Structure 1
């Protein structure tokens, strides 16, 4: 009986070891492909928020990691990419989060000129209600484009709100919480850029995908 149990235990241990080895090999083989897909996905989003601009791997290297939960919505570091034209800083591409969406966090990338003008914005991840809150996606509606060419200043917070709250941006029928959260997040991202001009000259500190 004991011998039988020992043999079974040994067999299970061998099978487990083989499975772990196979998983390790598969992980090693697929890791470069996953990294490549992640890079392509990030570049695609950055191109969307800066239409007509040549966005490449160099942009990912010119980046700062910032922890500013009061402006960028998360306790962890968020990336701010710096786009330059002929060595002159033309825009920041800010990773930010609206922490107060109807169903939780809404992650965005917002392109902001140094003077606080929003050049573009896109939602990259959310859990909002299909058919209502998901209108923040560019493939669902044109609402997210309403921020383009709008400027954020230190004293125009009242305009950066949905119409229900006296602002300039439309809300969705039956879903005010979601657009309200996104409007606030976009504004705060631009405000962070305005209040930190030193971002232009700080050394890059982001981990760049291979």
Structure 2
């Protein structure tokens, strides 16, 4: 045995003890906890850093969507600043964006959710005070590309066919796709999607009719 053997033996013994320590359950638990803490702190930092830009982009998208269902020429105010929440027996709380000319309500918009083939379809409706539709846009959906996505204004003019319609135009039995006996076109290979949108828009007209007085009440003067 050389004179370096005891030192080598000591180093090996120390290495074995360190390896055993690293694999001990308490140490493994501590390492896992530390890793989880670092990951949580990183996620919290990213969430905080992106909160303001996401909020700003969401607000911009909302304004752009509202301009498509309430023509800017119809109002002098910012509808997002003059919003009200209507508690409805059927739909629950609905946030309504109100457009005004002077003190009078000149239009309003609200979002309802229907369910198509792929899931939720978020529909934004613009309404005139007389109960007629100013415009409709689909804000988001998960319908099949090339089939159900024809509900988007960017993919076709189908959604524009609701402008000017009202609860009595057509009569209630007409508020269906043609396959179900109504007046609205369905898409080849995708009937469920337009059926859901038509039904959602009809719900919106019923919502307006139930709450017309509250929806068209003048906006209180700002102090």
2:176 is aligned, of 161, 170, 183, to 161
Deviations along 1:119-157, whole A, 9 cap, x unmatched?
A: 000011212222211111111111000001122239821
Matched, 1:89 2:102: no
CA 1:86 to 1:17, structure 2 compared with 1: closer, same or farther past 3 Å?
A: same
1:25 is aligned, of 27, 31, 45, to 45
Give the structure, 1 or 2, with the largest relative contact order (CA under 8 Å, sep 6 or more).
Answer: 1
> 1:59, CA displacement in angstroms?
1.6
Aligned pairs, number:
199
CA 1:29 to 1:167, structure 2 compared with 1: closer, same or farther past 3 Å?
A: same
CA distance in 1, matches of 2:153, 2:191: 18
Q: Compare CA radii of gyration and give the structure with the larger one.
A: 2
CA distance in 2, matches of 1:9, 1:98: 46
Q: Which residue of 2 aligns with 1:146?
A: 161
Matched, 1:194 2:194: no
CA 1:188 to 1:12, structure 2 compared with 1: closer, same or farther past 3 Å?
A: closer
Please say if residues 133 and 178 of structure 1, whose CA atoms lie closer than 8 Å, have aligned partners that are also in contact.
yes
TM-score (norm 2): 0.76
C-alpha RMSD of the superposition: 2.9
Unaligned runs of 5+ in 1: 205-210
Unaligned runs of 5+ in 2: 1-16
Matched, 1:136 2:151: yes
After TM superposition, the structure 1 stretch with the greater mean CA deviation from structure 2, 168-177 or 6-15, is 6-15
CA 1:64 to 1:153, structure 2 compared with 1: closer, same or farther past 3 Å?
A: farther
Deviations along 1:68-113, whole A, 9 cap, x unmatched?
A: 474x4xxx633221111112111120111123x2233211000011
Q: Which residue of 1 aligns with 2:70?
A: 50
SS at match of 2:143: coil
SS at match of 2:155: coil
TM-score (norm 1): 0.80
